[in-house]
Amino acid sequence: MDLTKLNKYFPDFDNTLLVTRIAQELKDYDIIDATDSMDELPRLISDEYNGKFVEIFVNYNDNPINDTSGIHNDIEVYYNVGNSFTEFDSKEYSMTRLNELKEDMKEYLS
């Protein structure tokens, strides 16, 4: 996976191993690095399937950013409909639950 955008916008990001693992686990969904300057965390995105796509945000390893409820998650996933980035649903995963993420994506995108 090309991590040029991640490296550009998050040069000190310490969890690229998890990003690479996610991309490998989800290779059937053509995951790309879609990180941009507006993102708080590195962002991966899937190809669109049946009008749906998935955004995956990966947190820092050593100094994770907390969500609005004060909890930090390794991975936060937004399940979207259409090309407008309209959130349909979201879910948090730990790095030990990549198989669950893969199954959820398979179900959602099919």
Residue by residue, pLDDT tens for the chain (110 residues) are 899 999 999 999 999 999 999 999 999 999 999 999 999 999 999 998 888 899 999 999 998 888 777 778 899 998 888 766 566 788 899 888 899 999 999 999 98
Range of the domain at 71: 4-109
For residue 47, what is the DSSP state? P
Q: Residue 78 is inside which H or E element, if any?
A: strand 75-81
Query: At what angle are helices 16-25 and 98-109 packed, to 10 degrees?
Result: 50
Domain count along the chain: 1
List the 52-58 sheet strands across, edge first. Answer: 32-33, 43-45, 52-58, 75-81, 86-93
